[in-house]
Structure 1
């Protein structure tokens, strides 16, 4: 009798355990589905914001039944940062991403402003994809006995360009101007520079600011952090930077720096040899110098570039030179120089003159090319420069107006 009672109790316990396990499994299945659905809704909210790409000063909150949605967008260097949150059934999912303009079949690989002067290509130059050129077109030339080596002048198609470059978003220009004018230098919530700093993109950004030069040597800094100096920032190869924004009048990136960063300067950017800046990185020189009435001669102002990228450096992202005051008179000043052996996967946007000798896998937009060779200056010449198709299929870059947008990177 006791044995039968024991068996009955054991059977009852097993049945109860089985029912409890079934209930728990069902509960977790439902919760998992809720999390997956909420996560999908969070992604959808970001994707729905792509066509407009507007920045909001405040978080937009909407409520539908038991579902609350939050959306916040603002500029983050060369890209737009979107924060999305969905809360439903006591589940809260947050996502944040960088978005930028995408390319289509008509997007330029080369856009040279129409200054009524043909493009002259020399040496191992190669042009692929869509080349937007002045009505005078492109022709082969030579520099010091070095002739164009290609079998065709271009490998793609040629379209007539306009007198001005494709426009980027004016709100983005205003954002860059505020940053470069020191809008973060007097922030009340600035933090001190430490050897190691990590900060998630799901929270409000942290700022490090100084009225003097900032030298980044053995620091390990990652996340939603902006570093601004009123004078200069110097980055050494021993520094580890991931997702950081640097702002200063002058920024020097020493040889062999590796990382992921965005640099915004107003006077000078120098990138050393053997550097690797992974996607999405950006180097932006927003030149606010007043135009001086100098004669076009051999002055140091005309000879020394404002923005230099040295050989054997690879940059994945955007390289940008902007001028606050448009100057069409100083035709021989080199504003941006990419040395032979440099490679940029992404886009180069230059509102001045570029001495282009490296490789760009993506797009080049410029007012004028310039070649400084053998002691002479050649206008609208490309010497050994290559503009090739972008190998990144869904590349998202600078905020051009009237452009489609895509996610460049999901943040953490």
Structure 2
């Protein structure tokens, strides 16, 4: 009886020891798997960071079309690059993967602003550039052989001396060309009507299908963020209660009412009107480009005390429609970035960047002065290092890529 009981106890103790040993082996195995998992994740992360540098080095070879480039790396890790246009930027998804593990990052990219970009490039239209009043220009000028003249407008600017610091070079008869763009239907998208959206927030990640929202008239009481294209067939008025981040807006005419804030790429066929005290944060782009309207007139206006951080582009047909195209910066407005105007530009605010224009215009109640800057400020020396550049196609083209932001 005693021997049988001892045998049972021995078996029980052996079973406990077996369970304990198995638990130790299992815990060790789990810990090893966890360590391997974290090691793999770290390898993927390191690979993905290296892939970002690879993209920068091969930026010029990768055009803004959907494409995939895969190359094997150490530890059997592979990396893919998916490149597609997002307005005037490139959207780049960089993925590193091994078996079932992967890690991805998505960036908006462009071209880095070059330090040699001029303060002003004025097309050689066989007249001098005149500056008056409190005008200040810091940076190089490209103008006609008629040169630069400081002048006084009777009754307005006699108490001020305009300031210019920089070098003067000869400009060409045409503006430096900019890259053409074409807004295409995304390959994967879903169409929504703004009137059917009842949420106050619509946030769409850039690794999801693009949401195309058809609007009609007024945008208000909503936040739109990410991979979203907002379209309107008529004038679109954006109210201060609407907030945007990284979206694309397409409409014949876009109006930002006083106090509106956000960031967006805006593509208009007719006019963009930025009201007073509006803030369009980096990286915002305002683009007007069309020949479809009967009048052929295209305009961009930046209202008093408003801020635009990014770029403004107004496309035209050179001398053919130069006087029909206008960009106006009102008093105390500020643009950080580049302005490209294939038309006439009126500057009464401040530009921290470069201006490429066919002509300048100053208007009073009784007359107008061509190729005159009155009380305007252009400082090409104050462009932040992290800013992108308008996609120019000749001597001012940047060859260095810029990761604008992670999205």
Measured against the shorter chain, the TM-score band is 0.7 to 0.9
Question: Aligned-pair RMSD on alpha carbons?
Answer: 3.2
Moved more, 255-264 or 191-200: 191-200
SS in 2 for 1:327: helix
For structure 1, the 5+ residue unaligned runs are 294-300
How far residue 146 of structure 1 moved from its aligned partner, in angstroms, is 3.1
CA distance in 1, matches of 2:104, 2:36: 23
- 2:151 aligns to what? 141
Determine if the alignment matches structure 1 residue 383 to structure 2 residue 383.
Answer: no
How far residue 268 of structure 1 moved from its aligned partner, in angstroms, is 1.4
TM-score (norm 2): 0.84
How far residue 73 of structure 1 moved from its aligned partner, in angstroms, is 2.4
How far residue 219 of structure 1 moved from its aligned partner, in angstroms, is 1.0
Determine if the alignment matches structure 1 residue 410 to structure 2 residue 405.
Answer: yes
The structure with more radius of gyration = 2
- 1:308 aligns to what? 301
Q: Is the 8 A contact 1:42 1:94 kept in 2?
A: no
TM-score (norm 1): 0.83
Residue 43 of structure 1, aligned match among 33, 40, 52? 52
How far residue 391 of structure 1 moved from its aligned partner, in angstroms, is 3.8
Do the aligned partners of residues 276 and 39 (structure 1) sit closer, same or farther apart at CA in structure 2, a change above 3 Å counting?
same
CA distance in 2, matches of 1:250, 1:75: 23
- 1:296 aligns to what? none
Q: Is the 8 A contact 1:240 1:259 kept in 2?
A: yes
Q: Is the 8 A contact 1:346 1:360 kept in 2?
A: yes
Match runs of 1:8-407 below 5 Å? 23=32, 26-52=35-61, 54-56=63-65, 58-64=66-72, 66-147=76-157, 153-170=163-180, 172=181, 175-176=182-183, 189-193=190-194, 194=197, 195=199, 196-209=201-214, 213-289=216-292, 306-323=299-316, 325-328=317-320, 331=323, 333=324, 335-388=326-379, 389-401=381-393, 402-407=397-402
CA distance in 2, matches of 1:238, 1:256: 9
Moved more, 343-352 or 33-42: 33-42
CA distance in 1, matches of 2:128, 2:294: 26
For structure 2, the 5+ residue unaligned runs are 1-8
Q: Is the 8 A contact 1:144 1:374 kept in 2?
A: no
How far residue 198 of structure 1 moved from its aligned partner, in angstroms, is 0.9
Do the aligned partners of residues 408 and 233 (structure 1) sit closer, same or farther apart at CA in structure 2, a change above 3 Å counting?
farther
CA distance in 1, matches of 2:230, 2:119: 33
CA distance in 1, matches of 2:330, 2:135: 14
